[in-house]
Amino acid sequence: MPRLVNIQSTLALATLLASTSLCSAADLPPIPEASIARKKELLFSDDFQGAEPAKVWHKVVPTFSIENGALKGTQTRDQNIPAADGKPAVTAHAAVHGLEIPTKDSVVEVKIRFEGASMIDVEFDDRQYTGSHYGHLCRAIVRPNGVTILDERDGNMRNDIYEMSKDPTKKADRAKLLVGRQATYPAKVEPGKWHTLVVETVGDSMRVTLDGKPAAFLKSSGIGHATKSKIELGVGGKDGFFDDIKVWNAEPASP
């Protein structure tokens, strides 16, 4: 069952699904072997044993449900639909489920399972921040063949860079601005198997492990955003599962 501790006292998009690293394999930063974060108090946990997602979760983009004691995400907004008959246009978007858990530095641990999904991610947002599209800050994305970390605040979702994505003539200029703001590391994620994903965020650095092994690392200014007010889980395609999520407040690990 969900458990929320001391939250009050503690401080997606279609284009994302096609994101790839701007770094060659030789340029990828080395992944620290040891954790960069030291866990402090447990802020939240949920083992998804209810009949439906607990009320502390909020719907961002459909669709999520509880299935066999796990949170199931299925992308239902899977195509762009133009405006017609007085109805607004619909833009394809990953399914997103959210929590209000203000953090600065944190450790998020969650079990994930691919059952046809193209990607599963953990993201951090601040809806009060107006310098990036929808307050997007940073995220860790797992795909069957790799792990990507994105600095979105100062990278692909920064307002001016986001607007450039709509103009094909600015593709080269946009690419220059994104250098160093994201990195993709190769990985092998077995469909149908539970994997333990850990996302450590400390200062302007994010480190990801899969099943206890270093999987990705990025140091970039947007990751250091002081008020990460929301943690969200995303699924692209059909279907992806989450279980046994835990969120800790954290501090930099001792050198």
Q: pLDDT at position 20, please? A: 40
What pLDDT is attached to residue 85?
79
pLDDT at 26: 56
- pLDDT higher than 50, residue 19: no
| Mean pLDDT, the chain, whole residue set | 90
Q: What's the pLDDT band for 14 if we cut at 50, 70, 90?
A: very low
Confidence at residue 3, expressed as pLDDT on a 0 to 100 scale: 63
Which pLDDT score, from 0 to 100, does residue 122 have?
A: 98
Q: Tell me if residue 103 falls in helix, strand or coil.
A: strand
Helix, coil or strand: residue 107: strand
Q: State residue 8's pLDDT score.
A: 35
- Determine the 3-state secondary structure of 122 from DSSP: strand
Q: Give the tens place of pLDDT for each residue, 95-153.
A: 999 999 999 999 999 999 999 999 999 999 999 999 999 999 999 999 999 999 999 99
| pLDDT category of residue 46 using cuts at 50, 70 and 90 | very high
Listed residue (171, 225, 178) closest to 20, CA to CA: 178
Does the model's pTM come out above 0.75?
Answer: yes
List, as one string, the DSSP characters of 53-85: --TTSEEEES-EEEETTEEEEE----S-B--BT
Whole-angstrom CA distances from 235 to 7, 13, 77, 88, 186 are 25, 11, 11, 24, 19
Six token digits for residue 92: 């394809």
Q: Is 71 exposed, middle or buried (0-12, 13-18, 19+ CB in 10 A)?
A: buried
Task: Tell me whether strands 228-252 and 106-114 are parallel, antiparallel or unpaired.
Answer: antiparallel
pLDDT > 70? residue 214: yes
Q: For the structural domain made of 3-77+91-252, what CATH number should be given? A: 2.60.120.560
Backbone angles phi, psi at 159, to 5 degrees: -50, -50
> If you ran DSSP here, which 8-state letter would residue 94 be given?
-
Answer whether the bond into residue 239 is a cis peptide, omega within 30°: yes
Residue 183: beta bridge partners?
Answer: 149
Amino acid making up residue 24: S
Tens of pLDDT along 174-213? 999 999 999 999 999 999 999 999 999 999 999 999 999 9
Query: Encoding tokens for residue 240?
Result: 């992806």
Q: How many residues does the chain have?
A: 255
